[in-house]
A and B are shown apart, each in its own frame.
Chain A
Amino acid sequence: MGNIIEFDNVSFRYEADIEGEMLPLAVDSVSLGIEQGSFVAVLGHNGSGKSTLAKLTNAINIPESGKVTVDGMDTSDEKLTDAIRRTVGMVFQNPDNQIVATIVEDDVAFGPENLGVPPAEIRQRVDDALKAVNMFEFRKSEPHKLSGGQKQRVAIAGVIAMQTSCIVLDEPTAMLDPNGRREVIATIKKLNKEMGITVILVTHFMDEAVQADRVVVMDKGRIIMDGTPREVFSESDRLIAVGLDVPQATQLAAALIKKGVQISSDLLDENECIDAVCELLRSK
């Protein structure tokens, strides 16, 4: 399948502060293609440019130089902004900042209403979207009575109801507890695998990135690593050097390798690690 989003040598900087001093580039000469139907995780420490990158995908940020295209549409063309946002939807970090209505189903209907979708179809879309995120039974609830994970799933339903083919999530689990995080990640995977929606997940939780098809690592506005989770996490030293972490299973393998033990460096989770250690002991 082709690329739904294409970054061609894109740079972006935020406007200067009151003193007029020019700020450094937040995104620096990035070229990146996001394949239709893929699940891509974007990792990076705070200030690495990953959120700026996310906002370049649906014309919230417009490149200073270079070009971003969504389904062939140039994001710098204002006439295309609406069409672009119908293709790429966004979910942000804080669930409390993105819920606008006082009843869950009204909130999910907000997007399609703005698109001018006929009422009967809105009804159908809202019900389907709430079922997809497992929140249908809460459709009449008041959002402020929901948990953080539930609110984030309502926000995701709001994007699904707009039937965008791509969802970009900017640290959607940063403010959630472990249960909420699990709910949201399970929902995201379902959208990708079952509904074929392209997912870009900005995060700094390594256990979430491990579940993606592809991991892109950013530092100082540039892409410094790009590959499968296995390829990226096998370079634990490089990740730690840019302020990131690797799963403890991977850390353990790296520590053993440093001591001269022959063990694979690309162990991602505990089961792979247990298998590898058992293998080592057997061959001893």
Chain B
Amino acid sequence: MPIISLKNLTHTYSAGTPLSVSAIENINLDIESGELVGIIGHTGSGKSTLVQHLNGLLKPTEGKVFIDGEDIWSNKKKIRSVRFKVGLCFQYPEYQLFEETVYKDISFGPKNMGMSKEEIDLSVRRAADYVGLRHDLLNKSPFDLSGGEKRRAAIAGVMAMNPKILILDEPTAGLDPKGRREILDMIVDYKKKTGSTVLLVSHSMEDVASVATKILVMNKSQVAMYGSVDEVFSRADELEKINLDVPQITRIFLGLRKRGIDVSADVYTVNEGCSRLLSLLNGGEC
């Protein structure tokens, strides 16, 4: 059974007015448990509207959202519990830090869930470990942390609720290359340790190619593609048509093919590209 299942999901902003606009239209999608899904698409393609349905922040205009097989809107009073099950971390989450100490900020979610003091403590410390935040920083004011540490603290606040599904909206935006790599490694590590399902919204094809198990491409309010990294990036021509890129390394191999070199283009990381070329140079098969 898929952990997320969307049936004919449509969301229309300002429905019934002249300004009415559908941000997502008739979406059908199943996501299996344990996947790390990279979500790509232009600004305005419907990515954010889509993810805000998964924890009930937005209510479908039409259609249904099933989490763990359960229609999340079947009982309006239960929508709160969905927010604990599906943790959503917004873009620039560090702007949402508000408590006196980092510890209190991270424990805000668990406290609202009604966890005991011991459980809260355990969750906070475990979340700090997931994001690589030193425990001595927990007693500091969040506003005394560096930019990168703030971002980690904010993500930890969502992880501390032990959600089955973690959604991160552009968690690396505005970070330098080293900071990006650290956050991506941390997400892969978190998924491995907890076995949760992770959805990662990103503008960087290189980032998505390096960590995702599946890729979801949104275009003009619709799901344009959903499949393995191979399946999606092998449709480079179609991606180009909707103005999305494939990783530079893939473009290099596509270019080689165009020059008549017999090499397959399903290459998404530099290491893979290097070993392909080496075997080609040594006369081997690719």
- Hey, which chain B residues are within 8 Å of A147, CB to CB? 43
Residue of B nearest to A207 (CB): B248
Determine the residue in chain A with the shortest Cβ distance to B248: A248
Q: Which residues of A contact B57 (CB under 8 A)?
A: none
- Bound CA–CA A251/B176 (angstroms): 17
Known: A46-B148, A256-B277. Contact between A271 and B177, CB under 8 A?
no
Chain B: interface size category: 20 to 34
- Which single member of A244, A280, A281 contacts B176 (CB below 8 Å)? A244
Chain B: interface secondary structure?
helix
CB pair A261 B174 closer than 8 Å: no
Known: A256-B277, A278-B259, A284-B281. A45 touches B252 (CB 8 A): no
Q: What does the 1/0 interface line of A154-167 toward B look like (CB < 8 Å)?
A: 00000000000000
Let me know if B176 and A243 touch, CB within 8 A. Answer: yes
Is A67 in contact with chain B by the CB < 8 A criterion?
no
Asked whether B179 is an interface residue with its Cβ less than 8 Å from the other chain, the reply is: yes
Contact A256 B278, beta carbon cutoff 8 Å = yes
- Whether the pair B274, A255 counts as a contact (CB closer than 8 A) is yes
Contact across chains for A177 and B248 when beta carbons are under 8 A apart? no
Q: Kindly supply a per-residue 1/0 record for chain A positions 243-284, scoring 1 wherever the CB is within 8 Å of any chain B CB and 0 otherwise.
A: 111011101100110010100000001110110011011001
**Distance in angstroms between the alpha carbons of A160 and B235 in the assembled complex:** 42
* B-contact bits for A64-108, CB 8 A (1 contact / 0 none): 000000000000000000000000000001000000000000000
Beta-carbon contact of B178 and A244 below 8 Å: yes
CB-nearest residue of chain B to A204? B176
Q: Is A252 in contact with B273, judged by CB distance below 8 angstroms?
A: yes
**Are A255 and B271 interface neighbours, CB within 8 A?**
yes
**Assembled-state Cα–Cα distance A269/B249 (Å):** 10
> Which A44-72 residues sit within 8 Å CB-CB of chain B?
44-47
The 8 Å CB contact of B177, one of A47, A243, A259, is: A243
Q: Which residues of B contact A271 (CB under 8 A)?
A: 255
- 1/0 per residue B170-206: CB within 8 Å of A? 0001111111000000000000000000000001001
In the assembled complex, the CB of B83 is this many whole angstroms from the nearest CB of chain A, namely 27
Interface string of A110-121 (1 = CB under 8 A from B): 000000000000
Q: Are B261 and A281 in contact (CB under 8 A)?
A: yes
Question: Is A248 a contact of B206 with CB atoms below 8 Å?
Answer: yes
Per-residue A-contact encoding for B253-286, CB less than 8 Å = 1, 0 else: 0011001010000000011011001101101000
Say yes or no: A46 contacts B147, CB within 8 Å. Answer: yes
What is the total number of residues of chain A having a CB less than 8 Å from a CB of chain B? Answer: 37
Question: B274: which A residues are within 8 A, CB to CB?
Answer: 252, 255-256, 259
- Quick one: which of B177, B203, B248, B271 has the most chain A CB within 10 A? B177
Complex Cα distance, B255 from A281, in Å, reads 14
Q: Is B251 an interface residue, CB under 8 A from the partner?
A: yes
Distance from B79 Cβ to chain A, minimum over Cβ atoms (Å): 30
- CB–CB A252/B252 < 8 A: yes
| Cβ distance B249 to chain A, nearest Cβ, rounded Å | 4
Q: In the complex, are the beta carbons of B176 and A178 less than 8 A apart? A: no
Nearest A-chain residue to B278, judged by Cβ: A259
Determine if B178 and A45 form an interchain contact, defined as CB atoms under 8 angstroms apart.
yes
Residues 92-148 of B at the A interface (beta carbon under 8 Å)? 146-148
**CA separation between A46 and B273, bound complex, in Å?**
30
A195 CB contacts on chain B under 8 angstroms: none
Least distance between A218 CB and chain B CB atoms (Å): 12
Interface, chain B (partner A; CB < 8 A): 42-43, 146-148, 173-179, 203, 206, 243, 245, 247-249, 251-252, 255-256, 259, 261, 270-271, 273-274, 277-278, 280-281, 283
Interface residues in chain A, defined as those with a beta carbon under 8 Å from any beta carbon in chain B: 44-47, 93, 147-148, 174-175, 177-180, 204, 206, 243-245, 247-249, 251-252, 255-256, 259, 261, 269-271, 273-274, 277-278, 280-281, 284
What are the 6 tightest A-B residue pairs by CB atom distance, in nearest-first order? A243-B178, A245-B177, A255-B274, A274-B255, A248-B248, A45-B176
Given A244-B176, A274-B252, 8 more contacts at CB 8 Å?
A179-B243, A248-B206, A248-B247, A248-B270, A255-B274, A270-B255, A277-B252, A284-B281
9 A–B contacts from the bound complex (CB under 8 Å): A46-B147, A93-B174, A148-B43, A177-B42, A248-B270, A251-B270, A256-B277, A274-B255, A281-B281
